[in-house]
Amino acid sequence: MKIGVFDSGVGGLSVANAIETALPEHEIIYVTDVEHVPYGTKPAVEILGYVEPILRGLAGQGCEIIVIACNTVSTTLITELRAAIPVPLIAMEPMVKPAAALTKSGVIAVCATPTTLRSARYAWLKETYASGLKIIEPDCSNWSYMIEHKQIDEKQIETSVESAIADGADVIVLACTHYHWIEKEIQQIAAHRAQVIQPEQAVIVELKRQIDAHSSSQAS
Ligand code: DGL
């Protein structure tokens, strides 16, 4: 099966690589939007104009499922995109629910783009799963830019992670796929003090479920 994977930039590549490793029998078509990355500082309405034609293109190329490997797009536009695109879309969103189940201190840190942090979906996740918790949202507004341009400011990342841990966070949620490329650094900084979580494996589980459902619907 052809599976489309989309992100604004290099974040989704880490997701596409993980899917390729887990499901080598499928063909992965990975597309980005080099012209408009980063998305995370742009309003949702502007992003919709960029994403919709790209996803239509993937569906037109024969992708039977598309993974939106972008929290910014998933948290702001998934309803509009599901209505517009004629194939199933798998979304990625901040792991607030798993973080709430893991924390012992009652404090979690969510690293995400400004657009994700402003989204109604993220507000809903917090209200539904983490209403009794303290949530720290470090300023990551330039992280996807610096990762995209390979200009990683390690000091800035360290300061943000140390500050979240000093405020009591024992779970750090990576809620932007670009940050998967600095996951090891964040884990090293947080070592033995906070767990770092991100949704790649959960997405693969959901993708397998949808592939199986698709195959059985075609067989019947
Ligand atoms: N990688 C994307 C995300 O998961 C978007 C990053 C960006 O373009 O700012 O949110």
Residues 130 and 61 in one domain: no
Residues 215 and 191 in one domain: no
Per-residue confidence (pLDDT) for residue 217, from 0 to 100: 81
Query: What's the average model confidence in pLDDT over 33-41?
Result: 97
Does the pLDDT at position 150 exceed 90? yes
Per-residue confidence (pLDDT) for residue 216, from 0 to 100: 82
Q: Where are the beta strands (DSSP E) in 123-189?
A: 134-136, 171-174
Domain count, the chain: 2
Residue 111, H or E segment: strand 107-111
Give residue 188 CA to ligand 1 midpoint distance, Å.
Answer: 23
Residues 27 and 104 in one domain: no
Residues 131 and 214 in one domain: no
Residues 119 and 67 in one domain: no
Percent of the chain with pLDDT over 90: 97
- Shortest-distance atom of ligand 1 to CA 11: 1
Distances in Å between the alpha carbon of 90 and those of 80, 81, 104, 110? 13, 11, 30, 21
Per-residue confidence (pLDDT) for residue 214, from 0 to 100: 84
pLDDT band at residue 219 under the 50/70/90 scheme:
confident
CB neighbour burial string for 123-135, b if at least 16 within 10 angstroms, e if fewer? eebbeebbeebeb
Q: Which of 15, 30, 39 to mutate to test the pocket of ligand 1 (most atoms within 8 A of CB)?
A: 39
Residues 78 and 107 in one domain: no
pLDDT in tens, 72-109: 999 999 999 999 999 999 999 999 999 999 999 999 99
pLDDT in tens, 172-210: 999 999 999 999 999 999 999 999 999 999 999 999 999
Report the alpha-carbon distance of residue 10 to residue 213 in Å, rounded.
29
Which residues are catalytic, by number? 70, 176
Residue 65, H or E segment: strand 65-68
Three-class SS state of 151: coil
Residues 115 and 44 in one domain: no
CB neighbour burial string for 42-72, b if at least 16 within 10 angstroms, e if fewer? bebeebeebbeebbeebbeeebbbbbbbbbb
Residues 193 and 102 in one domain: yes
Per-residue confidence (pLDDT) for residue 168, from 0 to 100: 98
pLDDT band at residue 218 under the 50/70/90 scheme:
confident
Name the closest-CA residue to atom 2, ligand 1.
70
Query: What's the average model confidence in pLDDT over 143-169?
Result: 97
pTM summary value? 0.96
Query: What's the average model confidence in pLDDT over 50-58?
Result: 98
- Give me the amino acid identity at 20: E
- State the residue range of the domain holding 25: 2-92+200-219
Residues 192 and 100 in one domain: yes
Per-residue confidence (pLDDT) for residue 211, from 0 to 100: 95
Give the CATH number for residue 126: 3.40.50.1860
Residues 42 and 121 in one domain: no
What is the pLDDT of the chain when averaged over all its residues? 97
Residues 85 and 107 in one domain: no
pLDDT in tens, 76-86: 999 999 999 99
Does the pLDDT at position 215 exceed 90? no
Give residue 39 CA to ligand 1 midpoint distance, Å.
Answer: 6
Residues 106 and 79 in one domain: no
Does the pLDDT at position 64 exceed 80? yes
